[in-house]
Chains A and B, each alone.
Chain A
Amino acid sequence: DADVTQTPRNRITKTGKRIMLECSQTKGHDRMYWYRQDPGLGLRLIYYSFDVKDINKGEISDGYSVSRQAQAKFSLSLESAIPNQTALYFCATSDPLAGAAENEQFFGPGTRLTVL
């Protein structure tokens, strides 16, 4: 089973609708992240959380909100979706206690969101 899962994997919605993207992880990591990827722009950080009580805005948080329901779950919400939020969304996790200097982020499979 995958260590980092995202649901749904694909979603088509309409402008103005509220939508939630969910991320779950079994890696036991405290740190979780949400990124969006647009063609030609790479990945950009939306929000990140270092533990259940810690939520931080990233580079492009406007129009998004998050909830860290538990160590293993981190949800991203679009309160009123707009077409320019059409993108590929990634959840990631990391563990600074892993002991490895590299401490890479582990990514989920992505959610492809289309806002019409």
Chain B
Amino acid sequence: AQKITQTQPGMFVQEKEAVTLDCTYDTSDPSYGLFWYKQPSSGEMIFLIYQGSYDQQNATEGRYSLNFQKARKSANLVISASQLGDSAMYFCAMREGDGTQGGSEKLVFGKGTKLTVNP
């Protein structure tokens, strides 16, 4: 069974507008972490934001926020005030376990969403 599902192969947004990239996940482990990575056309993987399964508040990092709905098993990335440089592939990933020593730390990735920001 697919553990990370990104249902939007491509998304378009106008510059300066907000956009939400969807991610749903599947796990029976009560302890897990959710990550979002950005991959620009140059190919590198850039870590954006993290949400732990026990975190009470939604994670935020600058213009990035994570809309974490635990009961629905969703972890959507919200990018506010989109910029042309936000055009890239975005990957949602999950780590089962709490990330401390002895944990798995293996990441399972979704298939990605290609975001295009229009001027």
Contacts and interface: CB of A to CB of B under 8 A. Distances in A.
Contact of B52 (A42, A44, A102): A102
B91 A101 contact: no
Interface residues on B, range: 20 to 34
B111 A96 contact: no
B109 interface: yes
Contacts of A107: 37, 44-45
A97 B109 CA distance: 23
Contact of A45 (B45, B107, B112): B107
Contact of B50 (A96, A104, A109, A110): A104
B7 to A, nearest CB: 13
B85 interface: no
A35 B111 CA distance: 14
Given A96-B99, A101-B33, A42 B111 contact: yes
Contacts of A92: 45
A90 interface: yes
Contacts of A15: none
Contacts of B44: 107, 109-110
7 contacts: A43-B91, A48-B105, A88-B43, A94-B105, A105-B47, A105-B107, A107-B45
Interface of A: 31, 33, 35, 40-45, 48, 58, 88, 90, 92, 94, 96-97, 101-107, 109-110, 112
Given A33-B106, A43-B91, A96-B101, 17 more contacts: A31-B105, A42-B4, A42-B109, A43-B93, A43-B109, A44-B109, A48-B106, A58-B106, A96-B100, A97-B101, A101-B33, A101-B52, A103-B33, A103-B100, A109-B44, A110-B43, A110-B45
